[in-house]
C-alpha cells in the first residue's frame, strides 16, 4: 500500500514538472498579435505613375556667371544636360566653410567663373545622395538650395563644388576630379552666350535676383483634360472603401466619410480634399523623412498624373507642395488644380488635396505665342503695385504658366504665359499692363 502511494506521488510530481515546463515555454515564446496596432491598410490601386527622387527634385534654373555678363537656362532639356553630367561626378572631401564674410559669400555664389544651380526648396544632403554620387559616408545633417560650380581654369587636379544654403549663409565645399570639368566647359560654359538667354541682376539687400534681360515669346497651350474615376481615390485612401457614407452636398460637391476619414470632391473645380482625422501631429519629422513620406504616399497609389516637381517644403508645419510644370516652366493656378498639397501627422497623412484630372489631348490655340516684358521692367511693376514695398521681401521672379479653366467647359484649360513673383513667402501673378491687383496663390 505504501509502495502504491509512493508510486502515485512520483507520477504526479513528474506530471507537474512537465506541465510547469510547458507553461514556461508558452510564456517565453508568446508573441501577441500586432494586428490591432497596425496602421489601417488600403487597397492597392494604380491610378497613373510612380516617381523617383530625381524625377521630383529638379533645379529651377542655372546661371553661367561670366566677367561682364550672366547667361542662364530654365528649360528642362537644358537643365538636364548639366544635371546628367553632375550625376556622373564622384564628390568627395565635403567640409563646411565658416570663414566667409557677406561680401565673400555673395562673390562665391554670384562671382565670375561660376555656374549657379538654383533649387526651389532646401534639399537635404541625405535625400540628394540618391541623385548625386557622394563618396563621403557621413554627409552633413543639413540642406542646400544652391550648387555652385567653380569653373575657373587652374592648374589643379580637382575643382570645387559648393553646396549653399543661401538664406542661412551656410557653405559646404567639396572636390571633384578635374577630368569631369572639361565636358561642363565644352557643353555649358563656352557656348553660353549663344545657347542661353541673357539675365539681368536685381539686388534686394538680402539676395541677388536674376531675371531674363529681354522680352520673352513663350508658347501658349490648350488642353482637353479627363477626369480620373474618383472611385480609384476612394479605394486608395480608405481602409474599407465599402464601409463609408456618401453625401451629396450640392449639384457639384460630394462627400465620402467613415469613422476617421473625410473625402470631399468638387466637380466644378475638379479638386478633391482628403482629411485623416485620426492623424497625430504632435511629432515634427525632419525634411528628409517628410520628402520620403510624401513621395511614398503618392507612389503607393501611383498618383503622379502629370510632370510634378517639389515646389515647397515646410518642416515646421509638416507641409509639402508638388507643382506641375511643362518643359521646366512652373504652372500656377488660382484654384490649386496644378498642385498636390500634403500635410502630415507624426507618421501618417493628415491632409491631401489635389485635382483628379489628367491630360487627354492638346488643343490648337488661336495665338501660338505671347510676348512677356523684360524681367527688370516686371520688377519695376511689382515695386509700384506692392503697398509699402520692401525689397528684402522679394524672393524670386520667374516666367511661368497660369492654368485657366474654360468658363464654358470644366475640362478645357489654357496655359497662359505670365510673370510670377514670390513676395514675403507668397507667390503672386504680375497682372498684364492695365490689369487688376496681383493675385496671391499660397
Q: Quick one: CA torsion of 7, 8, 14, 19, rounded to 10 degrees? A: 170
Question: What pLDDT, on the 0 to 100 scale, is given for residue 367?
Answer: 61
What is the mean predicted confidence (pLDDT) over 364-392?
90
Question: What pLDDT, on the 0 to 100 scale, is given for residue 249?
Answer: 85
User: CA-CA distance, 371 to 237, in Å (whole number)?
Assistant: 43
User: CA-CA distance, 87 to 183, in Å (whole number)?
Assistant: 13
- 196 near 2, Cβ under 8 Å? no
What is the mean predicted confidence (pLDDT) over 61-82?
97
Give phi and psi for 355, each to the nearest 5.
Answer: -90, 165
Question: What pLDDT, on the 0 to 100 scale, is given for residue 81?
Answer: 96
Question: What pLDDT, on the 0 to 100 scale, is given for residue 35?
Answer: 33
Q: Is residue 366 scored above 90 in pLDDT?
A: no
| Cell triple for 326 | 511643362
Segments of 319-385 assigned E as strands: 319-326, 329-332, 339-344, 349-355, 357-363
The per-residue pLDDT for range 308-361, each reduced to its tens digit, is 999 999 999 999 999 999 999 999 999 999 999 999 987 899 999 999 999 888
What is the mean predicted confidence (pLDDT) over 250-271?
93
| Cell triple for 430 | 504680375
Question: What pLDDT, on the 0 to 100 scale, is given for residue 41?
Answer: 55
Supply the DSSP symbol for 328.
Answer: T
Mean pLDDT, rounded, of the chain: 88
User: CA-CA distance, 432 to 416, in Å (whole number)?
Assistant: 12
Backbone angle region of 424, left / alpha / beta, with phi > 0 → left and psi within -120 to 50 → alpha: left
Give phi and psi for 219, each to the nearest 5.
Answer: -85, 145
Q: Is residue 210 scored above 60 in pLDDT?
A: yes
Name the pLDDT band for 434 (thresholds 50, 70, 90). Answer: low
- 341 near 351, Cβ under 8 Å? yes
Q: Is residue 106 scored above 70 in pLDDT?
A: yes
Strand 133-134 and strand 90-97: the pairing is: parallel
Which of 198, 341, 181 is CA-nearest to residue 271? 341
- Express as a percent the part of the chain with pLDDT over 90: 77
Q: Is the pTM of this model over 0.85?
A: yes
- Give the CA distances from residue 336 to residues 26, 186, 208, 324, 435, in Å, rounded to whole numbers and listed in that order: 57, 41, 29, 10, 21
Name the pLDDT band for 23 (thresholds 50, 70, 90). Answer: very low
Q: Is 144 exposed, middle or buried (0-12, 13-18, 19+ CB in 10 A)?
A: buried
What is the mean predicted confidence (pLDDT) over 258-266?
94
- 63 near 208, Cβ under 8 Å? no
With a CB cutoff of 8 Å and minimum separation 6, the contacts of 8 are none
3-class SS of residue 68? coil
Name the pLDDT band for 243 (thresholds 50, 70, 90). Answer: confident
Supply the DSSP symbol for 218.
Answer: P
Amino acid at each position: 500500500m505504501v509502495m502504491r502511494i509512493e508510486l502515485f506521488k512520483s507520477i504526479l510530481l513528474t506530471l507537474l514538472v512537465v506541465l510547469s515546463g510547458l507553461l514556461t515555454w508558452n510564456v517565453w515564446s508568446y508573441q501577441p498579435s500586432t494586428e490591432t496596432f497596425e496602421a489601417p491598410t488600403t487597397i492597392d490601386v494604380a491610378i497613373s505613375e510612380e516617381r523617383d527622387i530625381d524625377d521630383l527634385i529638379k533645379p529651377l534654373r542655372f546661371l553661367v556667371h561670366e566677367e561682364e555678363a550672366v547667361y542662364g537656362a530654365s528649360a528642362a532639356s537644358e537643365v538636364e544636360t548639366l544635371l546628367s553630367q553632375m550625376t556622373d561626378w564622384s564628390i568627395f572631401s565635403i567640409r563646411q566653410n565658416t570663414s566667409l564674410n557677406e561680401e565673400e559669400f555673395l562673390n562665391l555664389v554670384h562671382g565670375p567663373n561660376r555656374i549657379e544651380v538654383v533649387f526651389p526648396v532646401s534639399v537635404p544632403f541625405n535625400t540628394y545622395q540618391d541623385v548625386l554620387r557622394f563618396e563621403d559616408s557621413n554627409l552633413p545633417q543639413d540642406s542646400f538650395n544652391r550648387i555652385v560650380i567653380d569653373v575657373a581654369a587652374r592648374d589643379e587636379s580637382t575643382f570645387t563644388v559648393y553646396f549653399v544654403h543661401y538664406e542661412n549663409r551656410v557653405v559646404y565645399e567639396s572636390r571633384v576630379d578635374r577630368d569631369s570639368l572639361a565636358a561642363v566647359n565644352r557643353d555649358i560654359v563656352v557656348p553660353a552666350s549663344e545657347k542661353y538667354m541673357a539675365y539681368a541682376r536685381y539686388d534686394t539687400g538680402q539676395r541677388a535676383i536674376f531675371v531674363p534681360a529681354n522680352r520673352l515669346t513663350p508658347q501658349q497651350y490648350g488642353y482637353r483634360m479627363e477626369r480620373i474615376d474618383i472611385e480609384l481615390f476612394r479605394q486608395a485612401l480608405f481602409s474599407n472603401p465599402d464601409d463609408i457614407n456618401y453625401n451629396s452636398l450640392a449639384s457639384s460637391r460630394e462627400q465620402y466619410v467613415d469613422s476617421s476619414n473625410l473625402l470631399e470632391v468638387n466637380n466644378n473645380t475638379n479638386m478633391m480634399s482628403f482629411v485623416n482625422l485620426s492623424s497625430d501631429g504632435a511629432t515634427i519629422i525632419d525634411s528628409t523623412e517628410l520628402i520620403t513620406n510624401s513621395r511614398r504616399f503618392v507612389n503607393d497609389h501611383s498618383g503622379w498624373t502629370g510632370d510634378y516637381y517639389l515646389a515647397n517644403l515646410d518642416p515646421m508645419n509638416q507641409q509639402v507642395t508638388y507643382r506641375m510644370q511643362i518643359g521646366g516652366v512652373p504652372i500656377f493656378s488660382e484654384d490649386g488644380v496644378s498642385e498636390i498639397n500634403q500635410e502630415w501627422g507624426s507618421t501618417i497623412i493628415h491632409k491631401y488635396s489635389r485635382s483628379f484630372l489628367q491630360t487627354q489631348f492638346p488643343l490648337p490655340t488661336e495665338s501660338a505665342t505671347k510676348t512677356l516684358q523684360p524681367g527688370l521692367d516686371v520688377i519695376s511693376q511689382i515695386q509700384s503695385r506692392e503697398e509699402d514695398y520692401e525689397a528684402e521681401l522679394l524672393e524670386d521672379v520667374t516666367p511661368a504658366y497660369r492654368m485657366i479653366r474654360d468658363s464654358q467647359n470644366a475640362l478645357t484649360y489654357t496655359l497662359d504665359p505670365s510673370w510670377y513673383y514670390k513676395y514675403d513667402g507668397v507667390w503672386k501673378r504680375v497682372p498684364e499692363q492695365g490689369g487688376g491687383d496681383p493675385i496671391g496663390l499660397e
